[in-house]
Structure 1
Amino acid sequence: MKYLPLVFFFLTTLSFNVNAQNKKKQDEKAIKAMCGCYEVSFNFAETFQYSEDSTYVASKTKHDKGLEWVQLVEDSADKISMQHLLIVGSKEHPYIVKHWRQDWEYENTDLYEYFRNNEWKYTKLDKRQVKGQWSQKVFQVDDSPRYEGTATWVHVDGKHYWENTTNAPLPRREYTQRSDYNVTGRTNRHEIIATGWIHDQDNQKIISEEGVYELVAEEKGHNVYKKVDDSKCIAAQEYWAKEKDKWALVRAKWNAIFARNKDLVLEEKVDNKVLFKYLFDKEKYKTAEEINPLIESFVKQ
């Protein structure tokens, strides 16, 4: 009889571990379901305005469409990385735009959380905080950081989704148009559906400065990724086959910078030129000897 508690403990622990592994496999399946070829509709609308400035003008409602290939870049035990590639132009003469990247890391404790004005705060989380969770790390077109957050994938009532709220820089569609706020408070929801997946956003437009924190407006984003045959995205697949080695070097340099585990402040421009314009040069920046010092020049010491 004295062994019964020990046996019960062993069986309970075994059951817990098996269930945790099955849950993790469900999560991985949901994350990787975002890969493939998609017809995408991008929709954004400003919903509420709170600015006390009488001259404030709301952002215009945006509806846009595109064809996007989501390429699986890494699939390891606790990390899944996916590169988005936008296909523009005619079917006969497609042009590939290296778009955003999302990395998913299981029970990750190291985050770079956006603060304001091109500054990210390094945050070390407790292992207990992230038990069973996945962090989503989103990167710019040049693989510099955008925003990061951690949450649990939910699988219930036939639904599969992940939701998190975190701060981020202004999106590109706003960055070149507005200077009346400097932080986006983003609630992101990724939901896998039968026809593909949905990226839902409930965003806040925020002024964040020393001693000032003001909510200017709110915005709804609803981006629908409709799965289509992979053959429609051949041009993006061919592009990535040619360019993947270069971008692996870029990611490696950024990973070395992130591994310093300290706050990060980036220059907006070096010699009056943004980073992606350097890296998108087809003739230069193909080797680590060229890439590493370039990226380092954008890191404020």
Structure 2
Amino acid sequence: MFYKSIIPLCLLALLVGCATSTPTNTSPSSPPSTQSKFQLDRQAILAMAGEFDVSFKFHETLSRIPDYQLEEPYTSKATEYVFVVEDTSSFISLQHILVMYFEDSDQPIITKHWRQDWQYQDTKLTTYIGYRNFQTSEIYDNESKGQWSQAVYQVDDSPRYEALGQWTHLGNQSSWQSQDTWRTLPRREYSNRSDYDVLLAKNRHTITPDGWVHEQDNQKLVLDDTGQPLEVISHEIGINTYTRTNQTDFTPGRLYWDNTKAFWADVRNAWHNKLKQPRTYKITKKVDNKSVASEMLKIANDIHKSNSYTQSHKDQANELIHAAITPLTFTNSN
């Protein structure tokens, strides 16, 4: 979900957009010992909400095949508003909105970005298994006891990856680390690379005094025709840093969300209802040769401009989601 530069990223989303409020530092610094582990976990997740300057850095560190040339390091920056969509104690949903100002315009570009859902002691995971296939599987209570799943979604709210992990709290540090996680190719690479099929990642989220950091330990994995691992071509590290800011006006981003949140709630529910059964699904990126994400963002943009959400908008989104999903025969997950 990262782009080679900010301008293509924003243009791709096809949205408009944003303004300032003073952020509140909610990082769990030196939490009282009387708080339970569950409360500390929740406090850490909620600390990822706020207004941020964001930097994205990725660096290939090791070649695993002969004659492979390591990619040049990738860097990008953004300003991003992260807010709580839902909080029901054991479930927390955080939506990211990009709000980008440029020197030649006083009007920002607003982009609905990724979403992260956190579920305590989850009983079901939708994981990526390669070749645009995802698998929804039930998990046993003892597998997720004391853990939180993090599910990450694309800009159109289709699934990207999901994994279990454990929050740990040591003094003033709170950190969550995932199990090995299969992920689709990131946006910064899927349009210009075809030499690998899966990003095999470990993700760590650490709360800092002025924000949070997402660290990644990635391996670029090639699959065989049956979807089994064939070889790793390279290793990569990623560091995405979220630093609180009061220098950006995020008001237009909040207005965009106020105008479109009912639509996006219906979109989330539609994806959930289609993918909730334990089975394997193929999810396509295009329907009738049109990008599902771009079409979905166009609908939201129309709702935002007109400040009117109609049944026609909902029907269009449901048709896109229905056409993008093909149920497949259930197989064992990787």
What TM-score, normalized by structure 1, do the two folds share?
A: 0.88
Of residues 302, 306, 309 in structure 2, which corresponds to 1:283? 302
Task: Describe how 1:187-202 pairs up with structure 2 within 5 A.
Answer: 187-202=202-217
Cα pair 1:153 1:162 within 8 Å, conserved: yes
Q: Any stretches of 5+ residues in structure 1 without a counterpart?
A: 1-18
Compare 157-166 and 84-93 and name the one that shifted more: 84-93
Query: How far apart, in 1, do the equivalents of 2:204 and 2:120 lie?
Result: 17
Residue equivalent to 1:5? none
1:253-291 Cα distance to aligned partner (Å, 9 max, x none): 011012222212112311111211110113389533222
Superimposed CA distance per residue, residues 95-125 of structure 1 (whole angstroms, 9 cap, x where no aligned partner): 1111110000010020011110100122221
User: Is 1:148–2:165 an aligned residue pair?
Assistant: no
Q: Distance in 1 between matches of 2:235 and 2:38?
A: 34
Contact 1:37 1:230 in 2 (8 A): no
- Specify the alignment match of 1:237 in structure 2: 254
Unpaired runs of 5+ residues, structure 2, are 1-32, 304-308, 328-334
Structure 2 residue corresponding to 1:72, chosen from 59, 64, 84: 84
Q: Deviations over 1:62-102 (max 9, x none)?
A: 12111000021000132100110111233721011111100
Q: Which amino acid aligns with 1:228?
A: T
Residue equivalent to 2:199 = 184
SS at match of 2:195: coil
Is 1:248 the counterpart of 2:234? The answer is: no
Q: Distance in 2 between matches of 1:111 and 1:21?
A: 28
Equivalent position amino acid for 1:299 in 2: I
1:120-167 CA distance string (max 9 Å, x none)? 122221101111110000000100000000111100132100001211
Give the superposition deviation at 1:21: 7.9
Determine the C-alpha separation between the residues in 1 that align with 2:302 and 2:108: 20
Match of 1:81 in 2: 93
SS of 2:188's equivalent?
A: helix
User: Does structure 2 retain, via aligned residues, the 8 Å contact 1:37–1:232?
Assistant: no
User: C-alpha separation between the residues in 2 aligned to 1:109 and 1:20?
Assistant: 29
| 2:190 pairs with 1:175 | yes
How far apart are the structure 2 equivalents of 1:258 and 1:78?
21
Q: Is 2:135–2:278's contact at 8 Å kept on the other side of the alignment?
A: no
Between Structure 1 and Structure 2, how many residues are aligned? 281
Indicate the residue corresponding to 2:73 in structure 1. 61
Summarize the Cα distance change of 1:300–1:20 in structure 2 as closer, same or farther, 3 Å threshold.
farther
Q: How far apart, in 2, do the equivalents of 1:230 and 1:237 lie?
A: 16
The residue type equivalent to 1:108 in the other structure is D
CA RMSD of aligned residues (A): 1.9
2:63–2:69 CA contact under 8 A, matched in 1: no
Mean Cα deviation higher: 141-150 or 57-66: 57-66
Residue 216 (structure 1) shift: 0.6
Q: Which runs of 4+ in 1 moved over 4 A?
A: none
User: 2:111 maps to which residue?
Assistant: 97
- The CA distance in 2 between the partners of 1:31 and 1:272, in whole Å, is 38
Please give the TM-score of this superposition, normalised by the length of structure 2: 0.80
The reply to whether residue 134 of structure 1 matches residue 148 of structure 2 is yes
Q: CA deviation at 1:235?
A: 2.3
Change (3 A) 1:288 1:206: same
Residues 21, 118 of structure 1: alpha-carbon distance in 2 compared, 3 angstrom cutoff: farther
Q: CA deviation at 1:229?
A: 2.8
Secondary structure of the residue aligned to 1:244 is helix
Amino acid across the alignment from 1:30: A
Q: CA–CA distance in 2 between the matches of 1:266 and 1:133?
A: 28
Q: Which residue of 2 aligns with 1:224?
A: 241
Larger Rg: 1
Distance apart, 1:292 and its partner CA? 1.2
